[in-house]
Structure 1
Amino acid sequence: MRDDASRSIVAGPLAAEVPIVLDPCLAFPPVLADAPASGDGERYVALYGHDFSPAFGHSVRDWARCRGWPVISIGYRSEWADRQWIDAGPHEFAAFMANAGAVATTFFHGCVFALRFGRPFVCEASWYRGTKLRCLMHQVGAERRLVDGPGALDEDVERLLGAPLSEATEARIVALQQSSRRFLREALRAPEAVA
């Protein structure tokens, strides 16, 4: 299971402890050898999601403008982004996230890819994805990267977009990758033949 809500749904009927494992995109890093680099080496803020609060959008846009970086929305149209890239494929998306100077998102996989590539990021929680987001942030020790909607202050967004991932978070991800892979290897091991 990827989150506490899924685990509780499955654990009850099984009457067993069900471990949480990392999302496959974080547990098994994507290969980018054949993925095109994004842009021409410019720094940019990758925007991934929708239904951002006006205050969050204002803070992200101001932070980017102070640095001369464009805000580029991928996968979804955003009225406050400088550019839109709606039709990116999976390899293009991964390369785009890997090359971002910072990431602003409302999505679980926005966080997963920011974590995977060690990009500074901030995530605005939404009611729809809140449980998965909180579980992931707790799992990797990055709770402070999740801001709660309209209450987010400019200072919170600015601090998080400018801050690299902590060494503790990076170490936690490595440990969780190992334990997730170990669990999946055990779960997929073929049963021994019965004589």
Structure 2
Amino acid sequence: MKIGILTWYFGINYGARAHSLALYQTVRNLGYDCEFIQYTSSNTIKKEFYTCTAIEHRHKHPIQTMSGLVKMHKFNQQKKQYPVSKKVYTAEEIDALGYDLIILGSDEIINSNHSLYNDIYYGVGLKNTPYIMYAVSAGTVDQDTKLSKAIDEALSNCKCISVRDHNTAQLIENNTKIKPKIVLDPTLLYDFPVGEPLLKEKYMLIYSFGFLESYKEELIKLSKEKGLRMVCVGRRSEWAEKSIMNANLDEWLNYYRYASLIVTDSYHGFIFAIKNHKNYILIAKDDKTNKIDGLLNLTGTNKTYWNTQRDIVDYYEEMIDYDKVYENLNIHRQASLEYLSTAITK
């Protein structure tokens, strides 16, 4: 059986690269030949270039622009980890690739508020190739949103539908009466290899989609009290002691593995804190809480979001019951793997 994976594997984004690689490796571990479908919308390259380099602000932030170019180059060097089909531009061309099955997912590919969204990620236009959805997310789309007739039809033709959060599940159920299965993100199904530490000192790793300016005094206070160097990965921070702006995926994973503390407002940032049994400072960000809330519920973790109403040292010292977290995760991991295996062969 030959399987095509249709998702945003190409993003210059650690979460996008990690979930794509994890799903690819998981499908291969189940015994199937697979590759990524090289479908990209017309604005993909432009968006990634502007996001990485902040080119429009190059006069104010020349370091960010140069580091962004280096980051794009390093990500492109890892392309061999992502086997791809020939380039295709339409659903008809995807059908013509001759796959036995297409997996739509994972990540926010059905978030219609995202600039890379296309209804092809719902399966719209696919006529000759069976398809399933695995761990898709609608992100910030309200669950009461009315989906188009074409999307409703595509969902009804989908062999198996699974999502990774309750908001997405409710969106689909509200429109189609189909009740999707909630499964784990692929990064929780696959164990990434990690090498020797890249930093010698003990450090607090900051990975954020926001700049966290309103939290910096508290974070600086905590770093001094606990003797942890403040290291920001993925972007430049004026107040962190070290900024690593152009790490590739392998390096990003390495920084998580050896950190003493994780500070994040990111869904995948939180996932890799949990995967590595790390203490964390979890900060709520409006466009991420739907996904993170779902993961908090699945894992049953006792430590949720921090806010400035609570002393950061007190929050830091709250113990995480990782025995309980991993007992729950192992149950969901086995169920998710069984679901994916069954969905492929159904």
Q: TM-score, normalised by structure 1?
A: 0.84
Matches within 5 A, 1:41-190: 42-49=201-208, 50-52=210-212, 54=214, 56-142=215-301, 144-148=303-307, 150-160=308-318, 163-189=319-345
The alpha carbon displacement at 1:179 in A equals 1.1
Contact 1:119 1:165 in 2 (8 A): no
Deviation of the 1:72 alpha carbon: 0.3
Query: For 1:179, what is the secondary structure of its paired residue?
Result: helix
In 2, distance between residues paired with 1:14 and 1:156?
A: 46
Q: What is the CA distance between 1:117 and its match in structure 2?
A: 1.0
2:188 corresponds in structure 1 to 26
- Mapping for residues 1-16 of structure 1, pairs under 5 Å: 1-16=163-178
Q: Is the 8 A contact 2:280 2:316 kept in 1?
A: no
Say which SS state the counterpart of residue 103 (structure 1) adopts: strand
Is contact 1:71–1:82 with CA below 8 Å preserved after alignment?
yes
Secondary structure class of the residue paired with 1:146:
coil
Aligned residue pair count: 183
CA distance in 1, matches of 2:248, 2:327: 30
- Listed as ranges, the gaps of 5+ residues in structure 1 are none
- Structure 1, residues 86-125: CA drift from partner, whole Å, max 9, x if none? 1011111111101111101011111010111111112100
In the alignment, is the contact (CA less than 8 A) between 1:28 and 1:177 conserved in 2?
no
CA distance in structure 2 between the aligned counterparts of 1:170 and 1:71, rounded to whole angstroms: 28
Please give the secondary structure, in 2, of the residue aligned with 1:145.
Answer: coil
CA distance in 2, matches of 1:43, 1:136: 28
Match of 1:39 in 2: 199
Whose strand fraction is larger, Structure 1's or Structure 2's?
2
Q: Which has the higher helix share?
A: 1
Select the structure with the greater relative contact order (CA < 8 A; seq sep ≥ 6): 1
Check the 8 A contact 1:46/1:73 in 2, yes or no. Answer: yes
- Mark the runs of 5 or more structure 2 residues left unpaired by the alignment: 1-162
Bigger mean CA deviation after superposition, 177-186 or 3-12:
3-12
The structural deviation recorded for 1:57 is: 2.6
Distance 1:24 1:123 in 2: 21
Any idea what the Cα deviations from partners look like across 1:105-164, whole Å, max 9, x if unmatched?
01111101011111111210011212111111111112523224x44432444324xx35
SS in 2 for 1:144: coil
SS in 2 for 1:38: coil
Q: Compute the displacement of 1:82 (Å).
A: 1.0
The answer as to whether partners of 2:279 and 2:316 remain within 8 angstroms in 1 is no
The letter of the residue matching 1:67 is: K
1:165 and 1:94 map into 2 onto residues whose CA distance is: 23
- Structure 1 residue 187 displacement after superposition: 1.2
Partners of 1:45 and 1:64 within 8 A in 2: yes
Q: Which 10-residue stretch deviates more, 139-148 or 91-100?
A: 139-148
What is the CA distance between 1:29 and its match in structure 2?
2.1
Identity of aligned residues (%): 19
Residues 59 and 157 of structure 1 are in contact (CA less than 8 Å); yes or no, is this contact kept in structure 2? no
| Conserved? CA contact 1:60–1:158, under 8 Å | no
CA distance in 2, matches of 1:185, 1:38: 36
Mean Cα deviation higher: 72-81 or 86-95: 72-81
Counterparts of 1:104 and 1:87, CA distance in 2? 19
Which amino acid in the other structure matches residue 222 of structure 2?
W
Distance 1:75 1:165, change over 3 A: farther
Structure 1 residue 53: deviation in Å?
A: 5.1
Q: CA RMSD in A?
A: 1.9
C-alpha separation between the residues in 1 aligned to 2:227 and 2:313?
A: 18
The answer on whether the counterparts of 2:205 and 2:231 sit within 8 Å (CA) in structure 1 is: yes
Contact kept? 2:232, 2:240, Cα under 8 Å:
yes
The amino acid across from 1:131 in the alignment is: N
